[in-house]
Amino acid sequence: MVSRQVPRPSEVFELMKFRKPDFNLKRRRLRRALTIYDLRAIARRRTPRAAFDYTDGAADGELSLARARRAFEDVEFHPSILRDVSHVDTSTSIFGGPSALPFGIAPTGFTRLMQTEGEVAGASAAGAAGIPFTLSTLGTTSIEAVKAANPNGRNWFQLYVMRERETSYDLVRRAAASGFDTLFFTVDAPIGGARLRDTRNGFSIPPQLTVRTVVDAMWRPWWWIDFLTTPKLEFASLTSTGGTVAELLNSAMDPTISFEDLKVIRGMWPGKIAVKGVQTVEDAKHLADLGVDGVVLSNHGGRQLDRAPIPFHLLPAVVREVGRDVEVVMDTGIMNGADIVAALAMGAKFTLIGRAYLYGLMAGGRAGVDRTIEILTEEITRTMKLLQVPSIAELEPRHVTQLERLVPRAGQ
């Protein structure tokens, strides 16, 4: 028989301790977010549909994005045993400088449309975390303002080679003068991809109001208050800011971009240069022969050519061919710190997060970006401890098996 007694209040209160209430609504909702997908759900509730879909969407049928995420899901880890992982070292070096974590913030366009703190929130959060921040040519904050927001951290610049070459050259000079240490020469956007969500939503800069836009905005007054009471939304690096996203991209990009342009920019840039948007082993080898400092395996987050190669699947072959000569970075599909650990184990020197950062920004501005970095850091640290790998440098291909659903048909 179980012995029973009248509960003693002192014993009950020992076992049941009430959490101290937090009346800061933003802090409370961000604390409840335990994954990047949780931040995405908050972002979706708090952001008008057109702005959210611009971030969340991809090109055509969005197959490239779905496949990239599935590739990370199809990972099997192989942990070591009986190793001291009471402390793990998540720091690394990339492009001649340090990073406290093995990821940085990727370049994103139209960022202040998602949430008005925009690139300033991203750059300042990156600086506080000791990781690099990358500003896009299509950013909504100037090169100089990003430097002011992250004065002591590492700032990188992503360059589109535009039809008006002198515009691109001027951006290169300004980034160099502001102390940006790495340039991403982007090669996967000769024109804009078919981003059908944006077309259906009538997405443009500045936002065009329709009945649906107004109805959608009624449920998100905080977004409109922020939008209307902060400085004008414009492309800080471009002189023309009107039109749809596709029209802007097609006026800014140039389908005649060539290796000669890379040579010219390389001659102008005093720091490290990496080519972003590499999608074949052959191109990676050619770029290594040309002496670039790095290649970024990326299909632009699935936003350009749909059905493009999956960067995570491409990674091992590229590392085998050029990993001794250039630093290999990758992006696309990263939604968990375990994804980052898997990429590093397969040979990536570094990774970049785009959507994950923007979900945090939309969920809570600078505090939301901080929460994104916290979540990924916790996941990286936990995964490394469970793998029993005490440092980034000790991650190896033996720790990961890439399972595969997309197998080429026989005879091909």
Residues marked as catalytic: 300
**How far apart are alpha carbons 359 and 52 in whole angstroms?**
9
Is residue 125 within a helix (H) or strand (E), and if so which, with residue range? helix 118-129
**How far apart are alpha carbons 243 and 248 in whole angstroms?**
6
Can you read off the two tokens belonging to residue 126? 């990156």
Q: Residues 324, 330, 331, CA angle at the centre, nearest 5°?
A: 175
Q: How many CA atoms lie within 13 A of 113 on its CB side?
A: 25
**How far apart are alpha carbons 248 and 149 in whole angstroms?**
27
Nearest Cα to Cα of residue 387 among 1, 16, 85, 33: 85
**How far apart are alpha carbons 14 and 8 in whole angstroms?**
10
3-state secondary structure of 295: strand
Query: DSSP label at 34?
Result: -
**How far apart are alpha carbons 41 and 44 in whole angstroms?**
5
Nearest Cα to Cα of residue 121 among 307, 369, 391: 369
Query: DSSP label at 393?
Result: G
Residue appearing with tokens 């303002």 = 145
In the chain, what is the straight-line distance between the N-terminal and C-terminal CA atoms, in Å? 72
Helix 259-268 with 165-177: angle, nearest 10 deg = 30
Can you read off the two tokens belonging to residue 111? 């960022």
Do residues 63 and 306 lie in contact, with contact meaning Cβ atoms separated by under 8 Å?
yes
Do residues 126 and 104 lie in contact, with contact meaning Cβ atoms separated by under 8 Å?
yes
Q: Strand (E) positions, 22-130?
A: 75-77, 92-94, 97-99, 103-105
Do residues 328 and 311 lie in contact, with contact meaning Cβ atoms separated by under 8 Å?
no
Output helix, strand, coil percentages for the chain, rounded to the nearest 5.
45, 15, 40
